[in-house]
């Protein structure tokens, strides 16, 4: 069986540390592992439009930005096919057939979709396209017969629903065309990186992120206003480590685990100030993000070249999706002219 990795991002903004630890790092590692027959990375511009229909410019503006973020973290176009969702009409056609395999109540029950409808304040006025994006996302993956999706924890319910589509398609038409999809989660603690405000996951829409393109000054400012323990007022006071964003980030990014453990003990006992900790975290994050930013600046010099990569990727991706669509129609018995 072919091993095919597929993953993507919505071009609703530049990519941040949450994307980096929750998905990008993993996908670059998988891309370089040599374990996969094919690697696809999709910029989901159509999905982004489902809740930004009134602002296509925002989506358009972020396509090249996201592509540059990819290149900066090590996505390699000689190993991965990077493309735009809107460039592959076969996905939309497959989505149409998949919509017949899913009920309204199933879509409504999807916890990720439910939470997002609430978070965006849509209520009953949710756009139909957004409401059914869980189905189109299954088409995104299955158009390439994807078997592995490296992503954060929020994607679990979406992969579950996609696997139900695989099963129903198998029962109705052909059990061999699509294989079950495996969600490849990042290492523990990184499935859902908290935002700098400590309130929810780091997210483009919540404005609580540190971006891969942020410069040194901005990173430092963001670290300095990071949420810690609100009751830790004087340096001498004992402080709380749980829910303290600075420690969450040190746990993830600081390579010196012994140092972090001893700082935690000091903080809990009292006598360690937030500013000192934040300075350390700032150093750690600057170290991690500097090479990424520098690579990004190189690619940013030539945006036309970046768009060319997407155009070329689209050409290749479309060939694969066309074969899948043809096979899907054959198994449904509606490929009348064998195209
Ligand atoms: P939006 O607010 O537009 O939904 P987002 O910040 O949630 O944007 P997406 O493009 O929806 O980002 O997510 C892309 C990928 O990044 C997904 O695989 C998702 O699981 C992962 N991801 C996003 N935010 C985080 C986070 N804070 N921690 C870990 N993974 C994340
Ligand atoms: Mg999201």
**Domain CATH for 266:** 1.10.240.10
Whether 261 contacts 231, CB under 8 Å:
no
Contact 321, 251 (CB under 8 A): no
Tell which residue, 87, 99, 96, has the closest CA to residue 40.
87
Q: Are residues 252 and 121 in the same domain?
A: no
pLDDT band at 204 (very low <50, low <70, confident <90, very high): confident
DSSP assigned state of 243? T
Q: Look at residue 330 in the predicted model and tell me its pLDDT.
A: 98
Residue 331 has pLDDT above 90, yes or no: yes
Specify if 199 maps to a domain: no
pLDDT value for 1: 84
Q: Which of 61, 116, 156, 203 to mutate to test the pocket of ligand 1 (most atoms within 8 A of CB)?
A: 203
Q: Are 5 and 39 in contact (CB under 8 A)?
A: yes
Query: What's the average model confidence in pLDDT over 159-185?
Result: 98
User: In this predicted structure, what is the pLDDT of residue 44?
Assistant: 98
User: Which strands sit side by side in the sheet containing 148-150, from one edge to the other?
Assistant: 81-84, 38-43, 4-9, 148-150, 182-184
Q: Which ligand is nearest to the CA of 158?
A: 1
CATH number at residue 62: 3.40.50.620
Q: How far apart are CA 188 and CA 251, in angstroms?
A: 11
Per-residue pLDDT tens for 238-274? 999 999 999 999 999 999 999 999 999 999 999 999 9
Q: Which atom of ligand 1 is nearest to the CA of 194?
A: 27
For the four alpha carbons of 115, 120, 121 and 125, in that order, the dihedral sign comes to: negative
188 Cβ partners below 8 Å, 6+ apart?
Answer: none
Q: What is the CA angle 154-155-158, rounded to 5?
A: 125
DSSP H or E stretch at residue 184: strand 182-184
Looking at all shown ligands, the one closest to residue 203's CA atom is: 1
Helix (H, G, I), strand (E, B) or coil at 6: strand
Across residues 295-310, what is the average pLDDT?
A: 97
* Residue 82 three-state SS: strand
Tell how far the Cα of 154 is from the centroid of ligand 2, in angstroms: 8
> How long, in residues, is the chain?
339
Domain count, the chain: 2
Q: How confident is the model at residue 206 (pLDDT cuts 50, 70, 90)?
A: confident
Pocket of ligand 1 (CB under 6 A): 9-10, 12, 18-19, 22-23, 151-152, 154-155, 192-193, 201-205
> Considering the chain, what is the average pLDDT of its residues?
96
Determine, yes or no, domain membership for 211.
Answer: no
Q: Residue 296's pLDDT band (boundaries 50, 70, 90)?
A: very high
DSSP state of 154: G
Q: Which domain holds residue 12?
A: 4-192+303-332
Considering the domain boundaries, does residue 339 fall inside one?
no
Residue 274: inside a domain, yes or no?
A: yes
For atom 30 of ligand 1, the residue with the nearest CA is 22
Confidence of residue 189 (pLDDT cuts 50, 70, 90): confident
What is the position in ligand 1's atom list of the atom closest to the CA of 192?
Answer: 28
Same domain, 169 and 249: no
């Amino acid at each position: 069986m072919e091993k095919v990795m597929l993953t993507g991002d919505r071009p609703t903004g530049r990519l941040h540390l949450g994307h980096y630890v929750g998905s990008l790092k993993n996908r670059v590692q998988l891309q370089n592992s040599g374990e996969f027959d094919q690697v696809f990375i999709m910029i989901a511009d159509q999905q982004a439009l489902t809740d930004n229909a009134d602002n296509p410019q925002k989506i358009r503006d972020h396509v090249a930005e996201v592509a540059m973020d990819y290149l900066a973290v090590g996505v390699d176009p000689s190993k991965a096919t990077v493309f735009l969702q809107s460039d592959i009409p076969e996905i939309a056609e497959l989505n149409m057939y998949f919509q017949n395999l899913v009920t309204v109540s199933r879509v409504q029950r999807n916890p990720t979709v439910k939470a997002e409808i609430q978070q965006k304040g849509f209520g009953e006025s949710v756009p139909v396209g957004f409401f059914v994006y869980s189905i189109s996302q299954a088409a995104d993956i299955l158009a390439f017969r994807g078997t592995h999706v490296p992503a954060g924890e929020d994607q679990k319910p979406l992969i579950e629903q996609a696997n139900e589509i695989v099963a129903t398609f198998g029962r109705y038409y052909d059990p061999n065309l699509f294989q079950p999809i495996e969600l490849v989660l990042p290492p523990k603690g990184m499935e859902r990186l908290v935002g700098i405000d400590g309130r929810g996951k780091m997210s483009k829409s919540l404005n609580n992120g540190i971006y891969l393109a942020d410069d040194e000054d901005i990173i430092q400012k963001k670290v300095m206003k990071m949420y810690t323990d609100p009751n830790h007022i004087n340096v001498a006071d004992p402080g709380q480590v749980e829910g303290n964003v600075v420690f969450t980030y040190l746990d993830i990014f600081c390579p010196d685990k012994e140092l972090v453990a001893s700082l935690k003990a000091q903080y809990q006992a009292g006598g360690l100030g937030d500013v000192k900790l934040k300075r350390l975290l700032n150093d750690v994050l600057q170290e991690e993000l500097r090479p990424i930013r520098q690579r990004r600046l190189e690619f940013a010099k030539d945006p036309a070249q970046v768009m060319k990569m997407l155009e070329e990727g689209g050409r290749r991706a479309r060939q694969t999706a066309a074969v899948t669509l043809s096979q899907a129609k054959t198994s449904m018995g509606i490929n009348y002219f064998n195209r």
